[in-house]
Amino acid sequence: MRTRLKGRAVPGATTARLALGLVLLTVATAGACTVPPDAPPRTAPGHHVRHTARAATGLDDPAKKEIAMQLVSSAENSSLDWRAQYQYIEDIGDGRGYTGGIIGFTSGTHDMLELVELYTHRKPDNVLAGYLPALRAVDGGDSHEGLDPGFPKAWKKAARDPAFRKAQNDERDRLYFRPAVERGKADGIGALGQFAYYDALVVHGEGDDPTGFPAIRKRALAKAEPPSRGGDEKTYLNAFLDARVWAMRQEEAHSDTSRIDTAQRVFLKDGNLDLHTPLNWKVYGERYHLG
């Protein structure tokens, strides 16, 4: 589902980090005061910490990561069972060729090619290796030339191989999950914000086009400062989701913005910045519940 550019590496997180904890104030008496630690997890809508980056459980916590996988799967596959999606493959008519796997690797946006190259590097004699020349040829478009009719069947067969499933996990983390968490932590946002970054990277990629993740974040920064720069977390995330909705509406394939409007925006309105369960949301009109 991405619009990422071929061969571009995901930018690493910025090296700047806002120091948390002690704030030393020089006063006439040469005394010092200490800012108290962050408040406990939120239990009331709208309650949030202003003007400071929070030290909280990140999306890379195993329990939070599992929630993230289920949330994305509800939007990408209309199911919470994300592990059942290793074998998924079809052309959904979005101009990106075949879409397959746990986060929708696509034959037209380079990440499916990278996935099969990794799998073949680790296990040269696999059922997808013979399709590498065709994947290289169709990369950047929606053509199936050299892939039909056997590629979907071969993909589903490969999905029974633990090595292929691990390759999907590793490429998801390398290209999308880790960059989202690192960038989110650098911006001082909690698990919800890191998930918003992850979901945006999954759909839009990190290319330099007007609807890529960097452009979405830049659009948000023009409206609000993140906590790492002294801004309010909820205000900044509202600006980011506004920018994300704008980006989705630039393309017919992503014109349904319910993964924002009736999911991420609901959690934000409730003040659930750390993605605590229970969670209730809707995508494409279908209701989901966790916890």
Note the pLDDT tens digit of each residue in 98-132: 999 999 999 999 999 999 999 999 999 999 999 99
- How many other CB atoms sit within 10 Å of the CB of residue 123? 16
208, two tokens:
């330099």
Q: Are 206 and 238 in contact (CB under 8 A)?
A: no
pLDDT of 5 strictly over 80 = no
End-to-end CA distance of the chain: 28
Given the structure tokens 């993740």, which residue do they identify? 213
Contact assessment for residue 229 and residue 199, using Cβ atoms and an 8 Å cutoff: no
For residues 173 and 142, is the Cβ–Cβ distance under 8 A?
Answer: no
Assign 269 a pLDDT band (cuts: 50, 70, 90). Answer: very high
Residue 163, pLDDT score: 98
Look at residue 251 in the predicted model and tell me its pLDDT: 83
pLDDT digits (tens, 9 = 90+) for 125-173: 999 999 999 999 999 999 999 999 999 999 999 999 999 999 999 999 9
CA atoms within a 13 Å half-sphere pointing along the CA-CB vector of 69: 19
Confidence of residue 253 (pLDDT cuts 50, 70, 90): confident
Q: Nearest-CA neighbor of 282 among 262, 261, 256, 265? A: 262
pLDDT confidence band for 202 (50 / 70 / 90)? very high
Output the pLDDT for position 255: 84
Q: In Å, how far are 70, 168, 210 from 74, measured between CA atoms?
A: 6, 18, 26
Give, as one character, the DSSP assignment of residue 249: T
Tell me, what's the pLDDT at 55? 54
CB 271 within 8 A of CB 247: no
18 has a pLDDT exceeding 70 = no
The single residue listed with the structure tokens 């691990």 is 166
Tell me which residue of 167, 165, 256 sits closest to 203, measured CA to CA.
Answer: 256
Say whether pLDDT at 22 is over 50.
no
pLDDT in tens, 26-68: 333 333 333 333 333 333 333 344 444 555 689 999 999 999 9
Higher pLDDT, 10 or 179: 179
**pLDDT value for 20:** 32
Catalytic site includes residue 94 = yes
* Cβ neighbours of residue 127 closer than 8 Å, sequence gap 6 or more: 154, 157, 158
Active-site residue (options: 94, 209, 232, 270): 94
Catalytic residue among 60, 61, 66, 76: 76
Give kind and range of the element (H or E) at residue 255.
Answer: none
CA–CA distance, 206 with 217 (Å, rounded to integer):
11
- Residue-level pLDDT at 144: 98
Nearest to 151 by CA among 107, 93, 103, 96: 107
Statement: residue 25 has pLDDT above 60: no
Q: Is the peptide bond before 226 cis (omega within 30 degrees of 0)?
A: no
Name the average pLDDT for the chain.
85
Contacts of 64 (CB under 8 A, 6+ apart): 57, 58, 191, 275
